[in-house]
Amino acid sequence: MSGRDYSFNLPHDAPPGEYTVELPLDTGPHQGVITAYNTFRVTGVPGDVNADGRVDPADLTLVAVSFNRRAGDQGFDPGADLNNDGIVDVFDLVRVGRNFGTGGN
Ligand SMILES: [Ca+2]
Ligand SMILES: [Ca+2]
């Protein structure tokens, strides 16, 4: 870690799902300053929008619901923005389609 950038690593065997990051500051001059939380998803299968381990119609629906929405728009689902470019569009849809039917049961 250096400067203002900090990083962490998930264990290599972290299961798919939704995780919450909490940044508590227990000591030092900035104690208690950071109160923000952030949520991210870990998926084992590209195109698995809802992080349930498989790519199926539910993932397709989530992309469709957010289609053409940008980060900041009402209804934008960051999980449906599979390529993390700030918009849910055909490129995200292709990622679901490419892996449709894969994953566990
Ligand atoms: Ca899924
Ligand atoms: Ca996108």
Ligand whose nearest atom lies closest to the CA of 80: 2
Superfamily of domain 17-99: Dockerin domain (1.10.1330.10)
Give the whole-angstrom CA distance, residue 47 versus residue 50: 9
Tens digit of pLDDT per residue, the chain (105 long)?
446 677 777 777 777 777 777 777 666 776 666 656 677 777 678 899 988 888 999 999 999 999 999 999 999 998 899 998 999 999 999 999 999 998 765
What confidence score (pLDDT) does residue 1 get? 45
What confidence score (pLDDT) does residue 66 get? 96
What confidence score (pLDDT) does residue 8 get? 76
Neighbouring residues of 36: CB distance < 8 A, sequence distance ≥ 6:
23
Q: Where along the chain do its domains lie?
A: 17-99
**What is the whole-number distance in angstroms between the Cα of residue 25 and the centre of ligand 1?**
35
